[in-house]
Amino acid sequence: MKKILLPTDFSASAWNAIVYAIALFKNEACTFYLLHTYTPAFYRMDYLIGGPIISAIPDNEVNLSVAGLEHTLTKIKAEYHNPNHTFKLLSAFNILTHEINDLTARKGIDLIVMGTQGATGAKELFLGSNTVYVLRKAIAPVLVIPENRAFAPMMNMLFPTDYKTKYKKKELQNITTIAKMCNASITILHVKEEYDLSEDQLTNKEHLAHLLGAVPHIFVEDKGKLMPGAVIDYIENEHIDLLAMMNRKHSFLDRLFVKHNVDQISFKVQVPFYVIRDTAEVTSMSTEESIV
């Protein structure tokens, strides 16, 4: 059974990502964790010691968090009831990225699905700051759903690579699972900025083909263009339904983060994108959980 984390701030973007995840995995047995994090309006000593659980003074943020989660679950049950799906509500006094990594480690989260914008996100920006921080820090793979992107069957998936990484089977597990579920094909795109492939790169390319196995896939060389523009052009010209990226040094995603300030990313892609992460250190914090 897959364990999927759905962070929410109760915004329209977060709801859209939830609906997308439910539709994508409609035929799969899944446990969905609905997560809302909060901090109090001001910090008190009892909060600093143990959070709202041991606090003698009620905090409205706790009530709003729990009420918002319960309302979201009621809406899901009314509109998207599915016997394959179980939901757990998580209300946490914590920083979002810390809580996500703690839950990933403790619950064995397979995938995080979230929207591009929060409730207070500036509409001219593609990614809200919370989404950017999660993409950079989360130790689980992240699937980001652009605002207002309705679910549709995925036919064409794009995976840019420089073939400098020997991928692990586990790193590609979710993307191959999604491809099989949707009967989609994967295009492995290499943007040839300089030289021919080295022996190591050729070996890694062969290894990647082996990992993809029976999943339909093709290898494409794009010469004479530069990253990240080459990837953006390919998405627009080839009707790509999902972009998969490795978040490592000098990767496509890393170049975007280096090029733009974390709060001012204007890079815009209108398709869902899946980000594969390396292992990172986890910060452990506390969570209140109710099982539904």
pLDDT at residue 140 is higher than 80: yes
pLDDT higher than threshold 70 for residue 215: yes
Structure tokens at 88: 């757990």
DSSP state of 171: G
Mean residue pLDDT of the chain comes to 81
Q: Is the pLDDT of residue 234 over 70?
A: yes
| pLDDT for residue 134 | 83
The pTM score is 0.83
Residue 24 banded pLDDT, cuts 50, 70, 90: very high
> Tokens at residue 255, please?
């170049």
What's the Cα-to-Cα distance from 115 to each of 118, 121, 132, 247, rounded to whole Å?
7, 11, 11, 18
Question: Are residues 52 and 107 in contact, defined by beta-carbon separation less than 8 angstroms?
Answer: no
User: Over 60: is that where the pLDDT of 82 sits?
Assistant: yes
Question: Residue 26 is which amino acid?
Answer: K
Provide mean pLDDT across the span 220-224.
Answer: 86
> Radius of gyration of the chain from Cα atoms?
20
- Which residue segments constitute the domains of the chain, with CATH numbers given? 2-149+281-291 (3.40.50.620), 156-264 (3.40.50.620)
Report long-range pairs for 229-235 (Cβ below 8 Å, ≥24 apart).
230/189, 230/191, 231/158, 231/160, 231/189, 231/191, 232/267, 232/269, 234/158, 234/187, 234/189, 235/158, 235/269, 235/271
Give the burial class of 267: count Cβ atoms within 10 A of its Cβ; 0-12 exposed, 13-18 middle, 19 or more buried: middle
Residue 36 and residue 95 in contact, taking contact as beta carbons nearer than 8 Å: no
- Residue 257, pLDDT score: 53
Residue 31 · residue 86 · CB < 8 Å: yes
Is 212:241 a contact under the CB 8 Å cutoff?
no
DSSP of 219-256, one letter per residue? EEEEES--TTHHHHHHHHHTT-SEEEEE-STTSHHHHH
Between β-strands 273-276 and 242-246, what pairing exists: parallel, antiparallel or unpaired?
A: parallel
* H/E run at residue 270: none
The answer to which of 8-17, 37-46, 177-186, 274-283 has the lowest mean pLDDT is: 274-283
- pLDDT of 59: 66
Task: Tell me how far the alpha carbon of residue 158 is from its chain's centroid.
Answer: 16
**Where is pLDDT greater, at 55 or 121?**
55
For residue range 65-79, what is the model confidence (pLDDT) as tens digits?
999 999 999 999 999
Nearest to 241, CA basis, from 123, 151, 115:
151
Q: Is the pLDDT of residue 20 over 80?
A: yes
pLDDT for the residue 282: 34
Amino acid at 155: M
Cβ-based neighbour number of residue 149 at 10 Å: 17
Q: Kindly tell me if the per-residue pLDDT of 93 is higher than 60.
A: yes
